[in-house]
Amino acid sequence: MTTPTTIPVPARPYPYPFIPGRTALVVIDMQRDFIEKGGFGDALGNDVQRLEAIVPTIAKLLELFRRKRWPVIHTREAHLPDLSDCPPSKIARGNAPLKIGETGSMGRLLVRGEPGNQIIEALKPVAGEVVIDKPGKGMFFGTDIQSILDNKGITHLLFTGVTTEVCVQTSMREANDRGYECLLIEDGTESYFPAFKQAAIEMMVAQGGIVGWAAPSVALEAALAEAPIHA
Ligand code: C5J
């Protein structure tokens, strides 16, 4: 068996071992529900415009992964139209004027197939990319992602998307517990609360990378540019 090429990416708390072809780019919940006015994030009283800042970073990483033909996984927080996969506690939580399943300016909030549930145009998935509809915050809960990753031989995950301390952190923790090597791209994730973003990153890299690694996208791009990698 040949040893896979490993590219060290400068990261915290120490270099991240990137393996071309076995490392997937994960884009968490970059759907209109969270990024645009009239969606779920807005209904909860958040300043949704804060999240737009990371779109160019994720677009750049998507372009790189597509050029190299490396795997890309998108997730959406999404419920079945009959809400049978949504606990009543989740619907009630937040006491928002508009609740999950109710109709806003982009259709029913957090419901599969609705306009607001689509990934934003700038980051739209292309043919061949995996799109996972997840009923929870974590991408493993109630989804087929584990077998999809196994079948593709993916062992390493780069995390981007929103929000850092909710769906991104939950997904990264779930992945870490399942043995995946996880790197969080710091300028590829955002929160409605800047302090929560920073705290989440620090929690994950503390104690020798107890949940994983963190690095800016430029560190990843520079490491990959210097390495002799084939598509
Ligand atoms: C939230 C998410 N914040 N994608 N979902 O409810 O982080």
Distance 6 CA to ligand 1 centre (A): 32
Q: List the catalytic residue out of 29, 42, 99, 182.
A: 29
Summarize pLDDT for 202-211 with one digit per residue, the tens. Answer: 999 999 999 9
156-162 and 181-190 strand pairing = parallel
Neighbouring residues of 33: CB distance < 8 A, sequence distance ≥ 6: 39, 40, 41, 77, 106, 109, 110, 116, 117
- Write out residues with Cβ below 6 Å of ligand 1: 29, 34, 77, 162-163, 166-167
- State yes or no: is 167 an active-site residue: yes
Q: List the catalytic residue out of 33, 167, 182, 197.
A: 167
Say if CB 224 and CB 18 are below 8 A apart. yes
Summarize pLDDT for 47-63 with one digit per residue, the tens. Answer: 999 999 999 999 999 99
pLDDT attached to residue 73:
98
Summarize pLDDT for 72-121 with one digit per residue, the tens. Answer: 999 999 999 999 999 999 999 988 899 999 999 999 999 999 999 999 99
Summarize pLDDT for 183-198 with one digit per residue, the tens. Answer: 999 999 999 999 999 9
User: Between residues 211 and 229, which one has the greater pLDDT?
Assistant: 211
Distance 142 CA to ligand 1 centre (A): 16
Kindly tell me if the per-residue pLDDT of 153 is higher than 70.
yes
- State yes or no: is 29 an active-site residue: yes
Say if CB 189 and CB 29 are below 8 A apart. no
pLDDT attached to residue 229:
66
Say whether pTM exceeds 0.85.
Answer: yes
Output b/e per residue, 139-161; b: 16+ Cβ within 10 A. Answer: bbeebebeeebeeeebbbbbbbb
Q: Which atom of ligand 1 lies at the shortest distance from residue 77's CA?
A: 4
